[in-house]
Amino acid sequence: MPPFNLAEHAHRRFNPLTREWVLVSPHRTDRPWQGQVERAAVEKTVTYDPKCYMCPGNTRASGAKNPNYKDCLVFENDFPAVRPETPGAGMDDGLLVARSESGVCRVVCSSPRHDLTLSQMETHAIRGIVDVWAQQSAELGAMANIKHVQIFENRGAMMGCSNPHPHCQIWATSSVPNEPAKEQEGFLAHQRVESRCLLCEYLSQEEKAGVRIVCRNEHFVALVPFWAVWPFETLVIARRHAGSLTDLFGEERDGLADVLKQLTVRYDSLFHVPFPYSMGFHQSPTDKAPHPEWHLHAHYYPPLLRSATVRKFMVGFELLGSPQRDLTPEQAAERLRAVSGE
């Protein structure tokens, strides 16, 4: 029997952040694709759309009129998932348990131009967005009932993005959502055993190995995590042990803007389209308690599998058993490194 090889043999990889496993089946990469093939999305390229509710000077669904902004615009979501005035209540009837959830939902328009993506913006403009994220994190996190601030962006129609205007969302909630709550347990479990930060230690290992790193600078590293589920999933990690965006110094914010630019350009270059993804930052809870175990990072979850027209869904074993991937994280990182980040 040949010796075990990560690049050839089926195996499971452990995610220490969520304490979950992913099945990797590298021997399946050669199977022919006879499934559904999507049309590559063709998105609007106009710099201003009079029907867009995010463009400068236009009226939104709420009746509010956008100012003629020049950089970023932040406004309360006209259709929020949670509201600040929700009464504190719930029900507990054996296995039937519910709890009220309050919070604030905001939209951040990244540019007044309707046709831009993050990859097409200048790095200094992305730095301005980073500053807005940090400012909003501080403002919302300081609210008495807010325990978590989630910044996220859905890019592309296939990711359910309802408007191509460059924007992201911020949902600040009165409880910590499932995914960051899992990571909270992962951070604490590692700290109890090793007395060290999980991501500090993990990043050190990845930098020594080098095979899964996509791009980096003095302050941030973008890599395909060893336990990645999605074919071209990446993790953006702060080099310094900082818990949130508000903890970043000026040069670190520059570094984050630079890595986000490099990474999104590589995504577009590899697939020759404005690359669809869901991206989000995970940062320390805002429950007014210290969280020295937390380490700032961002997740990119792109659905594309082999090309701009073949995407990945969670079906079958992935829905009923555990996540599974064919392309190894090492292969994905190699392909992303091979294209330009400029």
Q: What is the mean pLDDT of each run of 10 residues along the chain (342 residues)?
A: 81 92 78 53 75 94 93 93 88 89 94 92 96 97 96 79 87 94 96 96 96 97 96 96 97 98 94 85 96 97 72 72 86 91 80
> Domain 45-336: which topology?
HIT family, subunit A (3.30.428)
Predicted confidence at residue 297, as pLDDT, reads 98
Predicted confidence at residue 275, as pLDDT, reads 82
Under 8 Å between Cβ of 281 and 183: no
What's the CA angle centered on 79, arms 78 and 80, to 5 degrees?
A: 105
Predicted confidence at residue 31, as pLDDT, reads 57
Spatial separation of the C-alpha atoms in residues 53 and 55, rounded to whole Å? 6
The one-character DSSP state at 116 is -
Predicted confidence at residue 342, as pLDDT, reads 80
Predicted confidence at residue 164, as pLDDT, reads 86
SS3 303: coil
Q: Which residues pair with 13 in a beta bridge?
A: 22
Show which residues are catalytic. 167
What's the CA angle centered on 151, arms 240 and 145, to 5 degrees?
A: 100
Summarised one tens digit per residue, pLDDT across range 18-49 is 999 988 888 766 655 445 555 655 555 789 99
Q: For the whole model, what pTM was predicted? A: 0.92
Spatial separation of the C-alpha atoms in residues 102 and 145, rounded to whole Å? 8
Give the closest residue to 278 by CA, choosing from 252, 304, 314, 317. Answer: 304
